[in-house]
Amino acid sequence: MSASIFREYDIRGIFQEELNENIVKKIGFYFAKELLKKVPTAKYIAVGFDARVHSPILKDWLSSGINNAGLLVLDMGLVPTPVNYFSNFQEFDGLKSDGSIMITGSHNPPEYNGFKITIDKEPFFGEQIYALGRDILADESVISDNTKTTKIDAKNRYIDFIVDHFKDLKLTNKKFVFDCGNGVAGVVLREILDKLNIKHHILFETPDGTFPNHHPDPSDEHTLIDIKKELDSGEFDFGFAYDGDADRIALLSPTNNFKGDILAIFFSRFIDNPTVIGEVKCTQIMYDIINSYGKAVMYKTGHSNLKVKIKELNASFAAEVSGHLFFNDRYFGYDDAVYATFRALELIDNNFDFDKEYEELPKVFSTPEINITVTEDTKFVIIEKLKEALANPDDNFPKIKDIITVDGVRVIFDKGWGLVRASNTTPKLVTRFEADTQENAKVYETALMELFEKIK
């Protein structure tokens, strides 16, 4: 067993090599015990799984652990991760879950799988996951087979909810293309579109955990080649692409790819007095614009962090650049790419001009994420050293206006900013730079990277 599978936001590893029968059963067992500590009256854990070929096997192992701990499994089968989250807010013939586990490797390669966990509608993450791992790694017992589950139809409950919520859409004069990437968005998408009379063409709809067409990661431009070809044909007004478990989205017009922080600006304009949470990688434009009519809060990267912050502030919305979009306005405050699709279609139905509004935003140059490989042992140490060095930089270092340390180091300069943060899931530092020009962004990047080389 390896402690490395227990990560900040979820549990993830290679099937059999790291996620074997013994450890998966114990994940189910010890999570059930933790749930009972928090909710002593708990009876049920809702379990769903993604399209990976080994997900059904993991479900059986996980169920054995849960059953042996004295709780029961509500089995929703093959569903998107947001449907798994959705089940926590529903009753199924009087049965209601007190926690949920989604079996998913998200956008990792096909040999990976993992678990996204909630407890009493809140994310189970950080120290909770690390403590779970310590308990599991210290236990040498063997858990017997008991794969009994109770089936629930969360998928159709979710479909009915979305259809009812957006039943007034009238988009008969437009046509859209959707790329499911052979992930689980395809499990629900077509039926919703058909019931709402939305004209559509769906790419790679059939769930297939080998991902035969392209890797399901819409934050990677290389995975958008197919949908961009469709948009280039002139047949479609907009395109939507999803990651493997449908909690991240890419929204594209024939001319633009709208990242999560830009979408946060657009969506927030139609929410009264919005409070919007962004991560440290979001463009400064987002914070400045939203603060002109609402409140924008900068917080840590990570879907679990943002879900917790939304609840703490009762915020309207949260966003990550990568396409995690969290609606707490008219929804439940978790990241749902399918729901976000229909909020975007709602704007289109109301004649919101995405391209025009995008072109009218202040112009800045932003780099993509630039990753630096380090080690697990040094990544947080380097960040602390960087903070110390920035307190007294050389005279030739660009003028610093402010330093934000909510997650790593975001250095505010006269004409832009630079970010260096430690990844919570990999042995890497994540950097991003933004400025009024490409040249200034390069100046800030060079200055921070030279400082990094001195202190690493």
Identified catalytic residue from 106, 268, 316, 366: 106
Q: What does the block give as tokens for 4? A: 């490395």
Q: Is 54 a catalytic residue?
A: no
**Residues in CB range of 50: below 8 A, 6 or more apart:** 78, 80, 81, 102, 103, 104, 105, 106, 183, 184, 207, 209, 244, 245
Q: Is 12 a catalytic residue?
A: yes
Q: Describe the chain by its helix, strand, coil percentages, rounded to 5.
A: 35, 25, 40
Of 435, 433, 393, 397, nearest in space to 414 by CA: 435
Please tell me which residue in 12, 214, 248, 410 is annotated as part of the active site. 12
DSSP per-residue letters across 260-313: HHHHHHHHHTTSSS-EEEEETTS-HHHHHHHHTTSEEEEE-SSHHHHHHHHHHH
Element (H, E) at 158: helix 154-165
- The answer to whether residues 346 and 169 touch, using CB atoms and an 8 Å cutoff, is yes
Contacts of 113 (CB under 8 A, 6+ apart): 12, 13, 15, 19, 52, 54, 55, 58, 103, 104, 105
Q: Reduced to 3 states, what is the DSSP secondary structure of residue 25?
A: helix
Active-site residue, selected from the candidate residues 248, 303, 324, 410: 324
106 is catalytic: yes
- Max distance between CA atoms of the chain, in angstroms, equals 69
**Rounded-to-10 torsion of CA 66, 72, 78, 82:** -90
**Residues noted as catalytic:** 12, 106, 324
